[in-house]
A and B are shown apart, each in its own frame.
Chain A
Amino acid sequence: MSTITLEDAERRKAWGFVAPALLWTIAFFVVPFLFMAAMSLWSRQSGQIVRAWNLDNYIAFFAKDSLFKGLMNSLEITLIVTVLSVLLAYPLAWIIAERVPKRFQRLALIMAVLPFWTSYVVRSYSWLLVLSKNGVINQTLMTLGVVAEPLEIASNRTATVIGFVHFFVMLLTLTIYANLIQLSPNYRRAAADLGANALQTFWHVILPLTLPGIMTGAFLTFVLCIGDYVTPQILGGNNELVLPQIIMLQLGRRADFPMAAALSIILMLAVTLAYVLCARWLKIERA
């Protein structure tokens, strides 16, 4: 009998320790999220939010080209950014892990992620300095006489993609490097013993073993990229809005909270889908 009460007391104490974090997450994350999901089923009529339960917002999303196009733009940009970032970051991570002497590797990594520490908003702005009509690239090209008229490289999709890729190359270099450095050199030796050349070894041995690092980074890239408002708003111009920009438009000019909520749920479903696709490679473990 006494052992049971002792266990009960222990358990009650443990609940006490975990409760604050759980309650915070429930009160300020789960409840608001459910509230928002409920609100996505309401509507806004003549400036008032009406609690009439229906799917009007979701139907409007698929019916209105301007809204649906936002999701398509988001998905396209996010996919382009994710693929480009992986392709650019992988060789860099590999060079740092394989070609840079051990004692300089940490320094090389720190240097590769240093601009990460500029303010997030300022980082997009600084690409504006480089890409805008009178920016560094255009002025350099015109001085060299390569082009007569400034190129239109700011305020469009290219600029958004460049801004994103810049950020995510840093992130992916870290995750892929962390994965590469854990591989035992024995894998390569075994492959060489079995007669594989460098390319075969990479394709059949190294690449599959670094898939977890790639997928972790790619998933992070996907989530952060598709939900970002700042980069497309600063660099993308007004021709091609992405979903977060459209959500912010609902909030600002029209104060249409139910519509913003519905679009957010759609955004979240896109992320969930990506998670399901990558889940087998992602894990959080206790050492």
Chain B
Amino acid sequence: MRDMLTKIAAFGYAGLIYGFIFLPVAVLVLFSFQDGRLPVPPFNGFSLQWYEAVFADRKLMAALANSFLVAIVSSVIACLLGFLAAYALARYKLPGSALQRGLLIAPMTVSYLIIALGLLTVLNTFGISLSLWTVGIGHVVINLPLCFAIIYSSMGDHHINIERAARDLGANDFKVMALVTAPMLMPSILAAFFLSVTFSWDEFIIAFLLSRFDVTLPVEIWSLLRSGLNPKTNAIGSLVFLVSVALLAVLELTLFGKTKKS
């Protein structure tokens, strides 16, 4: 009887929290189909007009492409630099390696707003104009610590002998890295890459402060918000959500599902 009660209490609580977590998203998606000008109750009926409006919006579509570009390029750079640094610090004895690790991780503990503001003051002073490149530079700054930490923490010592074997067989460092180390660490490299893609894709404040004419999607959505409650915002929000969830499902079923079994 008491077990029964705690069970009911536990699942009741979980249900409430799940309800809290899902409420805004459910409302967002539901009213993206609103047949009317306001994305609030009453629900007037099902319509795809706001999705049509999203796809017809040139600025939104350009921002979508920009976001994609910035996310991919900055994540590739962050992963590459993070991997090289992790390899050097895990496999060689370098003076001040603890300090170097600390320096590489440091941006993680600083608010994005401060990172953006620092870059902005420097760019302003040197008269460098803002563009997608400056946004990308900022995104590498925030993603490099993440990529470094993930890859570094997966570089276990048990891989060293395999790398030594490759070196004894005449492979140079780059060959060892590209043909031995990287394939062995592929799950964590991919995890780092996809995490940093999502972070960059979703990042607002750096993209807002460091861009001018070409903007990324979150910045374009931000300017949509000025028009108040608008089903078009619901539609683009729902689209981003569905794409992310689809991506997540694919990753879960292929990449992470596999690594779990092995």
Contact residues of A with B, CB < 8 Å? 10-11, 13-18, 20-22, 24-26, 28-33, 35-36, 39, 88, 91-92, 95-96, 99, 110-112, 114-115, 117-123, 125-130, 132, 134-136, 139-140, 166, 169-170, 223-224, 226-230, 234, 244, 247, 251, 257, 260-261, 264, 267-268, 271, 275, 284-287
Chain B 105-120 interface 0/1 with A at a Cβ cutoff of 8 Å (1 = within): 1110111111101111
| Chain B interface helix/strand/loop/mixed | helix
Quote the shortest CB–CB distance from B247 to chain A (angstroms). 8
Q: Which of A18, A122, A123 contacts B88 (CB 8 A)?
A: A18
* Given A28-B138, A130-B27: A11 in contact with B237 (beta carbons within 8 A): no
Please, which residue of chain A has its CB at the minimum distance from the CB of B91? A14
Tell whether, in the assembled complex, residue A118 and residue B118 are in contact, meaning their CB atoms are under 8 Å apart: no
Neighbour of B111 across the interface among A10, A223, A287, CB < 8 A:
A223
Inter-chain contacts of B129 with A (CB < 8 A): none
Give 8 pairs: A residue, B residue, CB < 8 Å, sorted on A: A18-B94, A24-B81, A24-B141, A35-B118, A121-B222, A130-B24, A251-B117, A285-B153
A261 touches B117 (CB 8 A): yes
Q: Any chain A CB within 8 A of the CB of B73?
A: no
B24 near A126: Cβ-Cβ < 8 Å: yes
- With A99-B7, A118-B241, A119-B217 known as contacts, the answer to whether A36 contacts B141 (CB < 8 A) is no
Residues on B with C-beta less than 8 A from A14 are 88, 91-92, 94
A135 vs chain B, min Cβ distance (A): 6
B111 and A271: CB pair below 8 A?
yes
B21 at the interface (CB under 8 A from A): yes
Query: In the complex the two chains form, is A30's CB within 8 Å of B103's CB?
Result: yes
In the assembled complex, how far is the CB of residue A143 from the closest CB belonging to chain B, in whole angstroms? Answer: 8
Whether B113 pairs with A227 at a CB distance below 8 angstroms is yes
**Complex: how many Å from CA A257 to CA B212?**
18
User: Which residues of the partner chain A approach B119 to less than 8 Å between Cβ atoms?
Assistant: 28, 32
Q: Is the pair B31, A125 in contact by a Cβ cutoff of 8 Å?
A: no
- Asked if A28 contacts B137 (CB within 8 A), the reply is yes
With both beta carbons as reference points, the residue of chain A lying nearest to B82 in the complex is identified as: A21
Q: Which residue of B lies closest to A17 (CB)?
A: B88
CA–CA, A22 and B103, complex, Å: 8
List residues of chain A with CB within 8 A of the CB of B28.
118, 122, 125-126, 129
- B68 interfacial by beta-carbon distance below 8 Å: no
How long is the Cα–Cα vector from A98 to B13 in the complex, in angstroms? 14
Per the bound structure, the CA–CA distance linking A136 and B125 in Å amounts to 48
Say yes or no: A91 contacts B124, CB within 8 Å: no
A-B contact count (CB 8 A): 240
Highest count of chain A CB atoms <10 Å: which of B22, B110, B111, B244: B111
A170 proximity list for chain B (CB < 8 A): 21
B-side contacts of A110, CB under 8 Å = 248, 252
Across the interface, do B41 and A139 meet the contact criterion of CB distance under 8 Å? Answer: yes
User: Once the chains bind, are A32 and B122 in contact (CB under 8 Å)?
Assistant: yes
Chain A residues whose CB sits within 8 angstroms of the CB of B114 once the complex forms: 33, 36, 227, 264, 267-268
Contacts of B240 in A (CB 8 A): 118-119, 122
B240-262 near A? 1/0 per residue, CB < 8 Å: 11001100100010000000000
Decide if B137 touches A121 in the complex (CB within 8 Å). Answer: no
Q: Are B18 and A111 in contact (CB under 8 A)?
A: yes
Distance (Å) between the CB of B170 and the closest chain A CB?
Answer: 16
Inter-chain contact A120/B149, CB cutoff 8 Å:
no
Q: Given the complex of chains A and B, what is the CA–CA distance between A24 and B81 in angstroms?
A: 9
* Any A CB within 8 A of the CB of B33: no
Assembled-state Cα–Cα distance A180/B121 (Å): 44
The residue among B14, B104, B155, B218 with the most chain A CB atoms within 10 A of its own CB is B14
Given the complex of chains A and B, what is the CA–CA distance between A130 and B104 in angstroms? 41
Which residues of chain B come closer than 8 Å to A271, judged between CB atoms? 109-111
CB of B193 within 8 A of chain A?
A: no
Q: Is the CB of A286 within 8 A of B94?
A: no
C-alpha gap A260/B113 in the complex (Å): 11
Contacts of A22 in B (CB 8 A): 85, 100, 103-104
Q: Could you tell me if A169 and B111 are in contact, using CB atoms closer than 8 angstroms?
A: no
Asked if B10 contacts A95 (CB within 8 A), the reply is yes
Tell me whether B40 is interfacial, beta carbon within 8 Å.
Answer: yes
On whether the beta carbons of A121 and B92 are closer than 8 Å, the reply is no
Bound CA–CA A125/B241 (angstroms)? 14
* Set of chain B residues within 8 Å of A169, measured between Cβ atoms: 17, 20-21
* Residue contact B144 to A286, C-beta cutoff 8 Å: no
Q: Are B21 and A115 in contact (CB under 8 A)?
A: yes
Write the nearest CB–CB distance from B242 to chain A, whole angstroms.
9
Separation in Å of the A132 CB from the closest CB of chain B? 7
Q: Contacts A130-B23, A223-B109, A275-B109 given; 19 further ones with Cβ under 8 A?
A: A16-B88, A28-B119, A31-B122, A33-B114, A36-B121, A114-B21, A115-B22, A115-B24, A119-B218, A121-B218, A125-B225, A136-B27, A139-B41, A169-B21, A226-B111, A229-B204, A264-B117, A267-B114, A287-B156
